[in-house]
Structure 1
């Protein structure tokens, strides 16, 4: 597990930068073990580059959910749909698409920095894989540490029985990734509660009115749904929700 987490920065670098690598055509299938030469050391061959890209595609969902803002945004949008009570509107596909667009928007500065400082030199064979991994971890850790509670980092440091890091850059990825994830979940539930509360109040008011009128057989949700949608539209809910989520990372 530790070895896999050690390679997460490198995998995320290739995923966000959108590198397209092509293998050299050969008459017969073969495995290339020649890494070539660079001023600093060996370089990756084309075959191993393709293998690395395929690994990225396989681990892409896990990387997206554990090292970016994807989890927080998706949980908040789920709370929003539950609060509205619209069941499948917006659909799961729409929520996932919106979450992906916002995630790419928020992570774009990190991706550009990794592309300029790591990916381009790596393509020019100016860096080794180990050097690229070290450079990639720096901007990624800055982003994750900015949104991770110290309490959560301390928790996983104690579980792993690891020594306290001297600086933020010394926090190992196997500690930072789970700490970042539970911090994001906590923040998402806090925001989800604030989003859910106004709709809950509308439901309670409608239920009280129906009960006072003796209309106990009429489900309150049927009556409250149009009012909740109207409230959400009047306050320009999508503008407020999306704007708040994005500003939570870029502000």
Structure 2
């Protein structure tokens, strides 16, 4: 994420300074093909970066649980949920982006630091954000698996340990929120099934009756507002 931000904000007069830095890093002499290869590889990693280093992981898991609980199958559609998740991610990451801009992008555009120094400085706010939501248990798991020496502080852990630990922590948080969200709708399904069975409506699937009731309940309590409020508070 830091690499993308630095590269996008620096795509101006300072962008020409980044190419020699990358070229000399990968090859002693300047080489445009190496730079093109690096940029194309970076573009292919954009979806993975968004999913692995942003709150989008937790948001999409919760939205999936909500849709399954409501029983609407394809409503809201995947692009709608993805768009909502991206906008909420942008909102949540605004302070981190501001820190990256202040500590890395602005000095780089002022020609005070090199491109790789900007990436190293810009990764610190991102790492601090990931560590804030990564559980100690998950950090210890990947630190032990990677045979990383015991650090003096969590900030000393490498990103190869922090990123997978953050993903596991976000998945756990998303499943926990989704399970709590699922319970009231599950109760409606059970009550509806019991009532339809007791009055002899065996050929009518209970989901035909429970789905409109769940949607009506979700709309009456202003469910989207409550869900967005709870998700934002969880961060």
Q: What is the TM-score normalised by the length of structure 2?
A: 0.87
1:13 has 2:5 as partner:
yes
Provide the rounded CA distance (Å) in 1 between the counterparts of 2:147 and 2:55: 28
Q: Name the SS of the counterpart of 2:76 in structure 1.
A: coil
Change (3 A) 1:144 1:34: closer
The structure that is helix-richer by fraction is: 2
1:13-40 Cα deviation digits (max 9, x unpaired): 337x65544877xxxxxxx9755xxxxx
**Residue 200 of structure 1: aligned partner:** 186
Runs of 5+ consecutive residues of structure 1 not aligned to the other structure: 1-8, 25-31, 36-44
1:95 has 2:87 as partner:
no
State which of 58, 62, 67 in structure 2 corresponds to 1:72: 58
**CA positional deviation for 1:121:** 1.2
State which of 226, 237, 241 in structure 1 corresponds to 2:227: 241
State which of 128, 140, 150 in structure 2 corresponds to 1:154: 140
Contact 1:21–1:49 (CA<8 Å) still a contact in 2? no
**CA positional deviation for 1:55:** 3.9
**CA positional deviation for 1:116:** 1.6
Q: What is the TM-score normalised by the length of structure 1?
A: 0.82
Runs of 5+ consecutive residues of structure 2 not aligned to the other structure: 22-29
**CA positional deviation for 1:50:** 6.9
CA RMSD in angstroms comes to: 2.5
> How many positions carry a matched residue from both structures?
225
**CA positional deviation for 1:131:** 2.1
Provide the rounded CA distance (Å) in 2 between the counterparts of 1:34 and 1:186: 43
Contact 2:58–2:170 (CA<8 Å) still a contact in 1? yes
**Residue 167 of structure 1: aligned partner:** 153
